[in-house]
Chains A and B, each alone.
Chain A
């Protein structure tokens, strides 16, 4: 526990941002700073940003919750009312604009919420606080399955939803293992298309301060403000090593490392996560649980090889079949 996580987090973070700084100096600077990142394909997962949260340090002061609002408030929805009547009329309206102060759950105006668990483990009582927000999955189903390309993963690992393109169909929430993104009706692109028949607003969630902080080489607001240095952030490889080392030193338990195929948010708890999951208030809707999550994209990842093999196999089969039919025809003519 002698580790100075704040310093370490800064060093790790700034080291990780060497890449960001390089791109800011390059001609692509405007795009880099709007968070879209540079073009091109890459698989350098080590350079993805990853956060580590030691929940035993969190005192539930909520400073991170308010810092998030302050830093990202200008992105919050300002819906037009009355909302267009939607067809069919069973389509749910989700309006948080009159309840912006809610902090005990995720909403379009509250991207970070603290859960509390009171548990007994091995004869000891614990009261633990868990900051909850998007985990920034490594292979995010919300982004992979967004039909409109509105939810996307940036090359620095940040998963964000482009509010100008989101239709608010909430598919990202349906496929997210933790149901993180939250909808606000009455804003966004759908209003300019067929507001009665398609779409229902815009989905909101933590974007890791991609533009307000990270693009400038600064720490995300919630990381920076925390008086207890609960969070560290940096290149994934270093953060994973840190998390494993700390878990080894403290005999603690990690969450997020393997969940949903791996996330860029790794929690450390002194108590097993199954125990915490039983104790947190996750039964109400939109209060994410803490159960172990299998990779929801695993089947797709397996089937992908069939998709890639199909054209090659088809081509070969076609050539073979044509050759055979030519042979057969020739054979027939010879008879």
Chain B
């Protein structure tokens, strides 16, 4: 998995990014009632995956961290004044990430006790969030296998 473009970001955060995304995908998938059905939660140490509230909370917390890192990358990029030249695969994934992030925030808004959103809109954000996350995962794997995992052109990659 590739890292967000932000030379300014401490390397520990950049290294943690793929793990963060993996855990988000895992807790996201655990929102569907499949962990128990497929006995994944019977594996040692994975019992928590069958608890919808635990996985939902973890997804929220990791989601907050994910949004923090994304906007860090965005803020640092804007401040540095050098806009990155994204590769085609980078552009595609950045677009999917943006969709996942925005629909994720909308889902949190939907769960606010003071807000009732139009059911059709809720339906749309639920499915778009799920499908965009799924496509991002597919794209990440496919580009990785094709050795086109980089987000930016080589000349722009920081250390």
A interface vs B, CB < 8 Å? 36-43, 45, 88, 91, 138-139, 144-149, 152-155, 162, 165, 169-171, 174-175, 198, 261, 296-297, 299-301, 303-304, 306-326
Residue B64 contacts which of A37, A149, A307, A317 (CB distance < 8 angstroms)? A307
Given the interface pairs A174-B52, A303-B57, A307-B63, the reply to whether A155 lies near B75 with Cβ below 8 Å is: no
Chain A residues whose CB sits within 8 angstroms of the CB of B45 once the complex forms: none
Given the interface pairs A145-B56, A147-B126, A149-B126, the reply to whether A319 lies near B111 with Cβ below 8 Å is: no
Interface string of B58-100 (1 = CB under 8 A from A): 0011011111111111111111100000000000000000000
Residue A198 contacts which of B34, B113, B123 (CB distance < 8 angstroms)? B34
Residue pair A88, B38 in contact (C-beta under 8 Å)? yes
Cβ of B115 under 8 Å from chain A: yes
Given the interface pairs A165-B123, A170-B33, the reply to whether A139 lies near B113 with Cβ below 8 Å is: yes
Bound-complex Cα distance A323 to B7 (A)? 12
Residue pair A307, B108 in contact (C-beta under 8 Å)? yes
Interface of B is mostly: helix
Q: How far is the CB of B119 from chain A (nearest CB, A)?
A: 4
Residue A318 contacts which of B71, B113, B114 (CB distance < 8 angstroms)? B71
Residue pair A322, B126 in contact (C-beta under 8 Å)? no
Residue pair B115, A41 in contact (C-beta under 8 Å)? yes
Residue pair A40, B80 in contact (C-beta under 8 Å)? no
A to B CB contacts below 8 Å, 17 in the list: A41-B118, A42-B115, A91-B37, A147-B32, A170-B33, A297-B113, A307-B63, A307-B104, A307-B105, A314-B69, A314-B71, A315-B71, A315-B75, A319-B75, A323-B79, A325-B7, A326-B80
